[in-house]
Amino acid sequence: MTATSPAPASPLAGSDADPFLVAASLSGKSDAAWARAAAAHVDCAVLGGIALDPASREAASDLVARGRSEFLPEDPVAWIDRQLRALADAPVRPAVNVRSATVDPVREAAAVCAKHGAGCEINAHCRQPELRAVGCGETLLADRERLAEYVAAAAETGATTGVKVRAEVEGVDLVAVARAVAEAGADWIHVDAMDSEAVVAEVAEVAESIRSAGSDADPAAAPTVVANNGVRGRETVQEYAAYGADAVSVGRPSDDPRVLSRVADAVVDWRDGDLIARPDESDREISP
């Protein structure tokens, strides 16, 4: 990483981890080569998203037809296995963002992730109409029971399991979603805050309430809260830290080493207790 403080030993698993930096998945871009390129700066890299079942794959094909970049390998689970094998010696903790309209492919993909010591991130985030129409992405936010089933299925394989969610979805109580997935076994909740950054504090309160409910002998496993959206440098890292996030992620600029270096420096200061406001170039509006 850019700075001198050591990275947390096990990012994603458990909210008692030191602050860390995630490279968030970018459809059609986030593969093993992308993760290796980011590894000098980040602690964790989320590959994908990858469509797993026939319905989600057909939706992804429709997205490609209208110009969107997507991963569409012949065998998506084998693709996951190949990508994770390629990262076996990489200095970064991998995870894979998965989409599916049914639960069994999630379980199968998570088992592969578990075999490689990687995380499995359930996609309850994508908002493209094609994916929503088949029950993927953000539609899962309004179907907490099914989303919790996906999380439980992934967690049962032994994979460190997370969920990526989105704020500002009409009719969705994100706090209730956070509690449901935590109770189902989610190790992390990856929050795209959109323009509602304070929602991170609400999700962090859920994690804190779960942690507080535990005892010294049998502590409750509180999920890690990863904040996403507009993370470009010290100012935004400081903002999300103040809202109670355990980590931050960089999305679109994850292939820009200038942005990653700037954010990584801020995260190291956060880890070291030195995250203070400075008049520097880290404003949210800086483009990648």
DSSP state of 282: -
Q: Could you check whether the bond before residue 49 is cis, i.e. omega within 30 degrees of 0?
A: yes
H or E stretch covering 65: helix 54-65
Identify the burial level of 145 via C-beta atoms within 10 angstroms of its C-beta, where 0-12 means exposed, 13-18 middle and 19 or more buried. Answer: exposed
H or E stretch covering 33: helix 32-38
The pLDDT, as a whole number, for residue 177 is 98
The pLDDT, as a whole number, for residue 286 is 34
The fold of 21-271 is TIM Barrel (3.20.20)
In which residue ranges of the chain is pLDDT below 50? Answer: 1-4, 9, 215, 217-219, 278-288
Kindly report the pTM of this predicted structure. Answer: 0.91
pLDDT digits (tens, 9 = 90+) for 5-26: 555 545 676 555 689 999 999 9
CA distance linking residue 13 with residue 282, whole number of Å: 28
- Distant-in-sequence, close-in-space partners of 89: CB < 8 Å, separation ≥ 6: none
Nearest to 227 by CA among 171, 288, 272, 167: 167
Please name the residue that has the structure tokens 């403080």: 5
Domain spans of the chain?
21-271
pLDDT digits (tens, 9 = 90+) for 123-156: 999 999 999 999 999 999 999 999 999 999 999 9
